Every structure is written in C-alpha cells, then in structure tokens.
Chains A and B, each alone.
Chain A
C-alpha cells in the first residue's frame, strides 16, 4: 500500500492544488482595487496583479510555515511559530479525517464526524476540569472517555443501519444536530458552568489533563499531532494488516460478495462506525486537551465537515488524509495572517479549498488542462447511492 501511494499518486492532487492556487490568485488580484485601477495599462495591470497575488500568497506562507519577521535576536527559531500553529490545527483534522476515511473504506459515508467530535470533546472536557488526577493518568483517562463517547455516538449509527437499514447519511446528519443542541444545553447546566458565571463556557481543563507541549512554551504545538500520526499508522494497520480491516474493505467494496463469502455485514457496519466514531471522538478530545481547553458551543468549528473534504482529498487512505489535513491546517493557519497583512479576504482560502476539492473530484479537467493522457486515476471513491 505504501508502494501504491507513490509519486504518481501525488501528481493529480499536486496539479489540482497548483491550479487552485492559480485561480485563487486570479481572484485575489481581481478583487484588489489597486490592480483594477490599472486596467487601462495592460502591462502595469499584469504586473500589479502578479504582485497582489504574490504578496497574498507570501503572507499565507508566512502565516502557516515560516515567518522571519517573528525571529528575535538569538531566537531565530521563533520564526517557525506559524508551522506550530499549522500542526495544532492539523492534529484534530487528521483524526477526524481518518474517521471519515475509515468509514468510507467500509462503504459508509460518515457525515457525523461533527457530532462524534462534539461528544468526544464533551467527555474529555468534563474529565479534564471536574476531576483531579495525577499528571499522565488524567490525560489518558480524559482522552479515553472522549474516544468512548465518540465511539458510542458513531456506533449507534452502525447499529441502526445493521438492524433497520436506516441510511447512515440521514442518521448522522440528525445526530449532528442532537449533539450540537445537547452541548448547548449542557453548557447551561451547573455542572458545566464556571462557578459564579453564567456564560456558556465550561471551566478550563486542568493542566494535568492537557497534552504536553512539544517545543517549549513559546510554541503551542503539542503531543496531539503525534497522537494523530500514530492514529494514521493504526488505521493503516487496521485496514491492511488485520482480518477486521479485510472485512471492512470487503464489505465496503462489495456487500453481496462479502455476504456470500460468509462475512457478517452487520458486524462490519456496527464496528466500522464505532471505530470511526472513536477517531472523531479522539479528535474532539485532542482539540479540547491540546488547543481549546474550554468547551464552548462552537468547539467543533468546522472540523467534522472539513474532515469529509480531507478524507476525499486523501482518497480515503491514511497517508493521503494526513497530507491533505496538513495542507488544510496550513491554509487555515495562514488565512488570518494573509488578511491582516494584505487585506485579502479570508474567504479566498475557502475558495482555494473548494477548488482543490473540485479539481480532485473532476480529474478529467486537470488532465485535459495539463494534457496528461496516460495518468491513470483509480476511479473516485466508493460513494454509494441511497440504497447502498
């Protein structure tokens, strides 16, 4: 599988990204009034357009990877602060992306990573602020509870599908709402209010339950990214080196042949959704224990939905999902820097993200633009119809 994920497999995503950057650049320069003022002088216009897009992308890069302006005397490494931010944002996204990718491989479209993320965050947060435990143990138990909560929230979906045939897309969408409104209700209960206050923000998790920092107190990057990488390894192992993964992939690719060969499809549905939910729950836990610390109603942000995008972008493979998440983490981290420095609207980043997905989903467009005839694209993802 590592062999299969060779350079060739990266050509298409790389070209898709390049194209998106190009069109994004067009949009940036055309929304820049300085550029438009020069429309009557073609040469000056082009120069200004190039400069405008170039500056925006430079700011984007500086906001996500390396910004020499942040260095202080004898502390050049501070210029890597943006990279740390990218990793902080990427960690939960990788985990949630793996959740969606794993479900995909088992033939399930898990739209519910958002809800499972929320439950994971609730579990981890409560353990984190309510109990006092030794360092280490506190963190592990908080994370475990997050995993279990997410796993239950995902497992319900699999169980319903296995027992009644209820379609997972509908069930997960509904469970997302339930999770969100449950969280909002919970934040108003005394157990989750900070004593003496009544705004819907839970107390911060105790330091004993926080993910350890990896690069000293100057950076926010924490062990969450390592957890995410380990989870990617775990998912790869599960899918390719275990009998459970074999069942998942078999049922995901052809339910009929799997049933005929004696594979229990209800088992696959239930356990795949439970594991998928566990990963999304862990994503919530990592976010609360490593980044956010305090539970709010917006704790899940857009993680659960970006997770679908990165899983698709990574072709539901663990390594692909990791790379796609790092890219999205970087775009997310760099967006605000871009807006602050060059006045480019933050929404441009969303446009670029959307374009990447669009080009990946329509490989023929990319192939015809770059005149690639022989580049094989191994069909899109198994996304099943309503009767699947």
Chain B
C-alpha cells in the first residue's frame, strides 16, 4: 500500500506547524522523517492518523484520496500508529489489551478471547515477536510492550505503520531488535513511517529520509548520507556531532563515594553498596538503562534522598547528612533529570527561575528584603552569557523552548562557584542544536578542571563526553570502563551482561 500526502498545511494561530508538506511512502518502504523538536513531525503524523484536521491538503492511500477525521478512519484506511507513550492498560493481559475496542462475545455473552489469542500467536510467530497473549502487560519489559502495540496495529490490518520516536524508551538491545522487526515488516510489504531524531538508527534501516524543518520539507536524503550532513539539514547550519575532547591530565579526587546504599520508603535497596571517585578535569559517566538506581544516586549527591548509608565526600568533607542547601553551597552544580519537575518552576518568571537557589543571598537580597530589579538585571546578563533566547526575563519560563529552559538551568547551576557538576540526562528531549550547546558547555567545565558526574541513558552521549564510564545495573556498578569501549560492549553491559 502506498501513502501520499499532498500540500498538507496546518496552522495554530500565527504558527505554521506544517507548510504544504508533500510526502510519498511506497509499499514496503521504511521512510524516516527527521526533524528537531517542534519541527512539525508530530503534527503531521497526528493529521495522518486523524487526531488533527489539516487546514488544506490531501491524504491519498493507494491513489485514492481519503477523508480521515478520526483515528478509526485511519485504521479503516490501513494506517496504524504506535505512539511514543504506549496506549496500554497495565493490569490487562496482552490479549485483553489488543481486543480492547474490538471486543467480540461468545454465544453466552462472555468475552471471546480465543480468536484474538490465535491471531496474536499467528502474527507473533510470523515476525518472531515472542509475545505470549496471556502475560500481564505491566510485567513486560518496555520493548515487548511496544511489540504488543505493533501486533495490535498488524492484527487490525495496518499496512502503513507510523512509529513515533519508537526507540526513545528502549535499551540499546531492544533498539536493535526493533530495527530488525521493522526490516522484517517492510520485507513483507508493510510501509513504515519512522519518526526520530536519532541519526544512527535512520542510517541503519531507512530506505528514504525526509527532513522537516520549521514545518517545511527542506530536503530528502538517502541513508548513505553522513550523520553530519543529516544533522546540518535538520538544524539548518553546520553541526559538530562529536565534540572535540581535548587531551589533558586529570587532577585530584574531587568526589569520593564509598559504600553508598540508598533505600526506598519500603526499605528495599535501590542502590547497593557502590563506590567510585571522580577527579578534577574528568567526566565520569554513569550509564545504564532507566530505572537501575541512577536517578536515586544522582539525587543522593545533593541529599535529596532520605535513606542513605555510606559516605559521599566532596574535597574531603562529608556530604551525607547535610541539607540540600549545604550540599549545593559546598560546590555542586546540579542539573536534574526532569527540568520541568525538579529544575524549574513553570509559573515563575525566567528571572525568578535564575535565583531559585540563591534568592536569599547578595546581591538579590539583604536581610529578608528581595530586590526584583536586581534579580531582573542579573538574569538578563546570565541569559545573554548562556545564549538563552527570550523576549523579556519577566515572561514566565513556560514560554521558552526545551533547549532554552535547559540553558536557564545550566546558567543557574554553573554560575555558582562549583567543584563538581552532577548532570542527569542533560539533553533529554532537546534538539540537535541545544544538545551541541549543552555538550560543549559540559566539556568546557571539564577542561576548566571541574569534576563532572554525568548520568545518561544515551549511548552516543556517554561515548561522546565520558573519560570513564561506570555502568549501573540493578542498583550496582557492574563495571567501570574507559571511554574507548565499543557501543556494542557498552550496550551488553547496560543489559547486565558481563564478559567472562
């Protein structure tokens, strides 16, 4: 089945999200759509799937124009979509989830799951999905949950499958498996629209690449194009993907963590007896799949965790048992994992967000008096230094893009006198241009002789920035390796596999 979009235009007020986009996907083709956050990829796909209506333009399936006003119209036309956030009921089995919305009953009025079980087994065997229809979804790994979504689309006859950032939530192994599945699907005739900003994956599986920037198709490319070429097309200017790490010598131990154990409220060990150190001028990356204790370890660095045993020493002085404020003042810059939740107050102005940590010290305050004038002028200077694009520092921070928000967090944290930078998923959800900025900034701090503790689930980021890599698995450090480890080796370690 072929899918063609002609002149799709969609505006939201003054914003043109899609500007007469043309696109053609052939039968059995993996068509990657590359673009930065906010380029209009999701808008376009939501239009194709019937979640949004275009202002003008046509959707043509097998040379027949379609009227798609609801997702059910899209499904009827053979278009399926796997969303970035899965639409599954965790406490239901795989079969129950797939039958949801298409329930059939037996003659006595009870739910008939038999036929769907057979269907699941058929599709699963055909593509090697290894999905058991009777497993509870909540017990399945994320990668398998995603396959459930794909099976659902296939069972209901999707011949064009839209995958929205499908690898964002996967481990490196799961990603490789998904890419293989995509190729197998394409071989059997399913067309796939693959939305992503990960260049490596695009190069691996795509047959054709369309690049979208600011709502317009700015070019198409073949997978033989280099990553730099693709990135430049996405951003609209030359991009350095692998920041140059200068060779230099490391200094003394800045951070020493010894026999650290972190427990949750129920007393279970989240982090088990780990020890490591970070030296001045060094980036130690803690790599690992989400949920292996990294978030808690990062939080424990500034004493945000309640149940901590062991020792964390910054320049020889003990941090465990201090307040958050004391930890920050001791010289830690903290870039939290979720900037929206932990890093910023969205209803506050940009200027106020610059002083969350220092609102009670000079020059912003004297005694209990706060001076908003000084807060604003200082914020303007900080914003300039960190290239935060804004209209007024009095605007709410929620008016900024993700990249600019992260720059505000960085500006705030790095403008304190710090010895150690704890950065947790510092580029999550950012576009290529902002990632480049954040990476350069982190390496610049390292070159200035700061110690950097980087938490990241992104292989590419870990490999690009780290001097040494500690891999966390189930609350323990599985190994500490040097940065010339191959992505494959690192991926295996993250999955908990240690070489003999």
Contact = CB atoms under 8 A, between A and B. Distances in A.
A249 B372 CA distance: 14
Interface string B331-360: 000101000011111111000100111011
Contact of B343 (A242, A243, A257, A262): A257
B344 A257 contact: yes
A210 to B, nearest CB: 33
Nearest to B356: A261
B369 interface: yes
Interface in A253-270: 253-254, 256-264
A373 to B, nearest CB: 12
A243 B348 contact: no
Interface in B291-325: 302, 304, 323-325
B368 interface: yes
A245 B345 CA distance: 15
Nearest to B328: A262
Nearest to B413: A261
A250 B348 CA distance: 8
A256 B372 contact: no
A254 B339 CA distance: 12
B341 A256 contact: yes
A242 B370 contact: yes
A244 B367 CA distance: 10
A245 B372 CA distance: 12
B359 A260 contact: no
Nearest to A260: B342
A377 interface: no
A257 B323 contact: no
A247 interface: yes
A260 B370 contact: no
A259 B347 CA distance: 16
B61 interface: no
A241 B372 CA distance: 7
Interface in B118-139: none
Given A243-B360, A247-B359, A262-B323, A253 B372 contact: no
A330 B324 CA distance: 49
DSSP class of A's interface residues: helix, strand, loop or mixed? helix
Contacts of B323: 262, 264
A257 B341 CA distance: 6
Contacts of B347: 253-254
Given A243-B360, A257-B342, A257-B356, A262 B370 contact: no
A254 B344 CA distance: 8
B357 A262 contact: yes
A240 interface: yes
Contact of A253 (B325, B328, B348): B348
B88 interface: no
Nearest to B343: A257
A45 interface: no
B365 interface: yes
B370 A241 contact: yes
Contacts of A241: 369-370, 372
A246 interface: yes
A260 B302 CA distance: 8
Given A260-B304, A261-B357, A244 B325 contact: no
Contacts of A242: 368-370
A250 B336 CA distance: 17
Contact of B368 (A243, A260, A261): A243
Contacts of B343: 257, 260
Interface residues of B, number: 29
Given A257-B345, A262-B324, A262-B328, A245 B370 contact: yes
Contacts of B344: 254, 257
A263 B360 CA distance: 10
B345 A260 contact: no
Contact of A240 (B334, B348, B372): B372
Interface centre among B324, B327, B329, B365 (most CB of A within 10 A): B324
Contacts of A240: 370, 372
A242 B328 CA distance: 22
A76 B10 CA distance: 66
A253 B345 contact: yes
Contacts of B325: 262-264
A240 B324 CA distance: 24
B359 A246 contact: yes
Contacts of B328: 261-262
B324 A260 contact: yes
Contacts of B352: 246, 250
A206 to B, nearest CB: 36
Contacts of A262: 302, 323-325, 327-329, 357
A264 B365 CA distance: 17
B297 to A, nearest CB: 15
Contacts of B341: 254, 256-257
Nearest to A240: B372
A315 B343 CA distance: 26
A249 B329 CA distance: 22
Most buried by A among B328, B336, B370: B370
A257 B328 CA distance: 14
Given A247-B359, A253-B348, A254-B346, A259 B304 contact: yes
Given A259-B304, A264-B323, A264-B325, A246 B370 contact: yes
Contacts of B372: 240-241
Contacts of A259: 304, 324
A203 B367 CA distance: 43
A200 B399 CA distance: 59
A237 to B, nearest CB: 9
A288 B94 CA distance: 67
Nearest to B299: A260
A29 B451 CA distance: 77
Interface string B361-389: 00001001110100000000000000000
Contact of A260 (B329, B334, B348): B334
Q: 10 tightest CB-CB pairs across the interface, nearest first? A: A262-B325, A261-B356, A243-B360, A261-B357, A254-B345, A262-B324, A260-B342, A242-B368, A246-B359, A253-B345
30 contacts: A241-B369, A241-B370, A243-B360, A243-B368, A246-B352, A246-B370, A247-B360, A250-B352, A250-B356, A250-B359, A253-B345, A253-B347, A254-B344, A254-B346, A257-B343, A257-B356, A258-B345, A258-B356, A259-B304, A259-B324, A260-B302, A260-B334, A260-B342, A261-B324, A261-B356, A262-B324, A262-B327, A263-B325, A264-B323, A264-B325
Given A246-B359, A253-B348, A260-B304, 12 more contacts: A240-B372, A241-B372, A249-B348, A250-B359, A253-B345, A253-B347, A254-B341, A258-B356, A259-B324, A262-B324, A262-B329, A263-B325
Interface of A: 240-247, 249-250, 253-254, 256-264
